[in-house]
Structure 1
Amino acid sequence: MSHFDTDKGIVWAPMNPLLESFYNHLAAHQSVLGNSRFYEDLIEIYETLEHDLKEENHESVATE
């Protein structure tokens, strides 16, 4: 599983393919934006989406 490092820790590649382009954008711009509050906010949004999509997937599997 791919990842990249930030000052706040490791950002892992998404399990959900819907977030692949978001992850690739974060990884590509880490060297330029890496120390900004804006970039940290984007990572928080990305990680929240990944978590929410995992939960949504688990809930939909459980109800089938």
Structure 2
Amino acid sequence: TLQGQKDVIELLKEEGLRDKIKVMVGGAPATQAWADKIGADCYAENASEAVAKAKELLA
């Protein structure tokens, strides 16, 4: 869920892990604006885009 995505990022911050773990969000209800709002590292509209973005994050 969207709230779950936000909760995960908040939990990572609380545990001091946010700088060590990249977060990608997506799915039908998610948007780039949502990703920006919750502080995700990137947004992908579909699985193919997610693969490309994951490669970029890991480069």
Of Structure 1 and Structure 2, the greater helix share is in 1
Of the two, which has the highest radius of gyration? 1
**TM-score normalized by structure 1?**
0.33
**TM-score normalized by structure 2?**
0.35
